[in-house]
Copies of this chain bind each other. A is one copy, B any other.
Amino acid sequence: MNPLPDFLPPPHELDADASCPSRLGWMQGSPPPPERVVRFDTGDSRKFPQSRWSFSHTRELYPTLNIGRGDGPVAALPRALRDDLDDIALTPIGAGKPIRFAQSLKANYTDGIVVLHRGRIVLERYFGALGEHQPHIAFSVTKSFIGTLGATLVAERVLDESRPVTHWVPELAGSGFGGATLGEVMNMTTALDFSEVYTDPDSGIAAYARAGGLAPRAAGSPPPEGLYAFLQAVRPAGVHGAAFTYRSVNTDVLAWVIQRAAGERIESLLSQRLWGPLGAERDAHIICDPYGMPFAAGGLCTTVRDLARMGEMIRCEGALAGRQIVPAAAVAAIRGGGDPAAFAPAGYALLPGWSYRHQWWNSHQPDGMFMARGIHGQAIVVNPGAEMVVARYASHPLAANANLDPASLPAWSALADHLARHPG
């Protein structure tokens, strides 16, 4: 069964069930047999199907910084589980016939999903190597957390979007970020010689991963080493502010600015500003580089439920359980979205009319749906019109979300329509 549209080939010969990590036996046994070990230093941990295990076991492969939830109470997520959602019909983009919602989860190699409707859990499901209390890597969904911190500090006038990033980080003066404003960095309209092609080992993102210790780096490799050394070596290419181009390095520059302006580390800000106030169930963590700097572009790991708490707070204009966590003005800026005209040239065929602002993706649909998106299927979906939030972690064989969107975007729409029509 391949529930994906005909124009997309099956992403891998192993479908979600056949690649289930417990079935394949990755890292099982004391010790696991050599051919079933998932290793970082060989590069295998990022490869499918090993990734179905490793995305749920990031801290066992990387050094990490803790993001503490503190001592406060857990914010209850009331449960109102429904059995009518699995059978919702949806037609993947480009496909001739509909599939069921439950099939879409398998088609996209979902590891865990929580759907909130009006703040209550209506669906919660785990697959693969993930459990309800286990953190999964968020990849670029991390960016939306950093963007939310940034938008918060803008609302509090600690940061000013119109200022050049060199105001806070003079070390970037000689780099491609030299003439860029903070707003251009936050909205990824910087013009840089940096390619974000996940399938190319010679791309900027691959070199960045090696520099940060996020991918294996041969001993004696030439500099730069460390995320922030790399950022200083990024070259300019073009004129800032003209067009959106998705480049992860922007987020780490944003994080660098935030740390300088706030005088505090990212993991500490995430803990105090979000994780504690959100009443998260579990501590989160973030991968760090050899200099102890957080991988702000993609290293956050959380449970699915805690990811849903973040989405719900954003849906509720920055408040949760009667407490304002993020300034309403910051959330309003995120929800307002960016400039679709600046976004269009990037050529996302499946995201027509969308925009990017403060590290969130905005659909500009009538229901106001906006998202946090990470490679291999990580997502927060916030649908204000349908009063719906989806938190999804996945381990799809392919990195680019263009491989998941054909089944996912119609799934979120069908779910929203169904919940609006049958509020339960």
Chain A residues touching B, range = 35 or more
Near B by CB (< 8 A), chain A positions 272-301 give 281-283, 285, 288, 290-293
A258 to chain B, nearest CB (A): 9
A333 to chain B, nearest CB (A): 25
Residues from chain B with a CB closer than 8 A to the CB of A38 are: 292
Bound-complex Cα distance A219 to B66 (A):
29
Closest to A289 in B: B31
Decide if A63 touches B60 in the complex (CB within 8 Å).
yes
Closest to A256 in B: B30
Near B by CB (< 8 A), chain A positions 22-54 give 27, 30-32, 37-41
Bound-complex Cα distance A39 to B291 (A):
7
Closest to A26 in B: B292
> Of B30, B39, B290, which is within 8 A of A39 by CB?
B290
Would you call A21 an interface residue if the criterion is a C-beta within 8 Å of the partner chain's C-beta atoms? no
Decide if B60 touches A288 in the complex (CB within 8 Å).
yes
Would you call A133 an interface residue if the criterion is a C-beta within 8 Å of the partner chain's C-beta atoms? yes
Would you call A64 an interface residue if the criterion is a C-beta within 8 Å of the partner chain's C-beta atoms? yes
Decide if A37 touches B68 in the complex (CB within 8 Å).
no
A175-199 near B? 1/0 per residue, CB < 8 Å: 0000000000000000000000000
Residues from chain B with a CB closer than 8 A to the CB of A291 are: 27, 31-32, 37
Bound-complex Cα distance A31 to B41 (A):
25
Closest to A169 in B: B30
Residues from chain B with a CB closer than 8 A to the CB of A40 are: 63, 290
Q: A59-B66, A64-B60 are in contact. Are A260 and B30 (CB under 8 A)?
A: yes
Decide if B68 touches A133 in the complex (CB within 8 Å).
yes
Bound-complex Cα distance A256 to B226 (A):
37
Bound-complex Cα distance A290 to B282 (A):
25
Would you call A65 an interface residue if the criterion is a C-beta within 8 Å of the partner chain's C-beta atoms? yes
Closest to A168 in B: B30
Would you call A228 an interface residue if the criterion is a C-beta within 8 Å of the partner chain's C-beta atoms? yes
> Of B31, B61, B63, B133, which is within 8 A of A228 by CB?
B31
A325-336 near B? 1/0 per residue, CB < 8 Å: 000000000000
Residues from chain B with a CB closer than 8 A to the CB of A74 are: 71
Would you call A364 an interface residue if the criterion is a C-beta within 8 Å of the partner chain's C-beta atoms? no
Q: A30-B259, A30-B265 are in contact. Are A292 and B60 (CB under 8 A)?
A: yes
Near B by CB (< 8 A), chain A positions 131-179 give 133
Closest to A133 in B: B68
Would you call A218 an interface residue if the criterion is a C-beta within 8 Å of the partner chain's C-beta atoms? yes
- Residue pairs across A and B with Cβ atoms less than 8 A apart, 6 shown, are A27-B291, A30-B293, A32-B291, A39-B290, A59-B63, A68-B282
Interface contacts beyond A62-B63, A63-B63, A68-B282: sample of 10 additional A-B pairs, CB < 8 Å, sorted by A: A27-B292, A30-B260, A31-B291, A38-B292, A41-B290, A59-B63, A60-B63, A60-B64, A219-B219, A283-B283
